[in-house]
Structure 1
Amino acid sequence: MTIPRATLPALLCLLCGAMPAAAGPYMSAEEFDAYTRGKTFYYGSNGAPYGAEEYLDNRRVRWSFLDGECQEGEWYQEGEMICFTYETHPDPQCWSFERGSRGLIARFENDPALTELYEVEQSDEPLYCKGPDVGV
């Protein structure tokens, strides 16, 4: 299949819009907290939705893979990384965060070959979480 030459610029623009722009230096805990606190961020990876995290006071977070199931957790700075622990995953998951021209870019354990997430949207609305399972 060949793509008409006139279509290529539009296709390239669409692809570029899904990818994060070049970023700057790593964010400190203070910068990260000031940028995220009180907001819910929706993240993408490789052009697809990945998950969302609500950033609460006192470095607390609420994460979801957009399925309505949420995990409570907290974050802290370790070196240049921001590390997260969750009630169901107590082992730290550390990320480097940078601010690009389109928002946050997060790299798992500072290794770009591993998971890279980018901010797709941020909201002042809380994260949607289903309530606890209730049985009869």
Structure 2
Amino acid sequence: MLPALAFGTILLALSPGAAEAETPMTAEEFDAYVTGRTLTFGTGGVPYGVEQFKQGRRVLWAFIGEECREGVWHPQGEQICFVYEDEPRTHCWYFWMTDEGLRARFAEDGPGDELYEIEQSARPMFCPGPQIGA
């Protein structure tokens, strides 16, 4: 019985994605993956928001159905943190790769606050401005 149990443990340890799911991406890995891409993130089976990652750690973010906001990202330990032009508060996340793509967990909340990549594109985001004449 012990050899079968040991073999199962080895297979689990070697299975694809087992280590990656628990190991946050470094800032260099994150930068290499996201720069030049526009990623759509979802949560709970629905789209959540879209972020365009530009050169120099600059970003453009929009919640689904809302206006775009510019910002920047920077590493903080194992976290990737974002600051946007309209809000001085820093938003930090843990990012890691899975077989299905990029995943993110908000650093300040419990395990339920997780986003996952549902689409990616090399096209820039479309950001309509505020209503004119309103």
**1:65 aligned residue:** 63
Q: How far did residue 114 of structure 1 move?
A: 4.1
Contact 1:24/1:100 (8 A) holds in 2: no
**SS of residue matched to 1:25:** coil
Q: 1:105 aligned to 100, 103, 106, which one?
A: 103
**SS of residue matched to 1:128:** coil
Amino acid of the structure 2 residue aligned with 1:89 = E
**1:48 aligned residue:** 46
Q: Distance in 2 between the 1:51 and 1:102 partners?
A: 18
Q: Distance in 2 between the 1:34 and 1:41 partners?
A: 14
Q: Distance in 2 between the 1:68 and 1:111 partners?
A: 23
The normalised TM-score by structure 1 is 0.78
Q: How far did residue 110 of structure 1 move?
A: 6.5
**SS of residue matched to 2:56:** helix
- Tell me, which stretches of 5 or more residues in structure 2 are unaligned? 1-16
Residues 70-111 of structure 1, C-alpha deviation per residue, up to 9 Å, x if partnerless?
Answer: 010000000000000001111110000000001111000075
**2:84 aligned residue:** 86
Q: 1:95 aligned to 82, 93, 96, which one?
A: 93
Contact 1:96/1:110 (8 A) holds in 2: no
**SS of residue matched to 1:26:** coil
- Alignment coverage as a number of residue pairs: 116
Residues 32-55 of structure 1, C-alpha deviation per residue, up to 9 Å, x if partnerless?
Answer: 010000100000101111011000
**2:113 aligned residue:** 115
Q: Which has the larger radius of gyration?
A: 2
Percentage identity across aligned positions? 49
Q: How far did residue 115 of structure 1 move?
A: 1.4
**SS of residue matched to 2:127:** coil
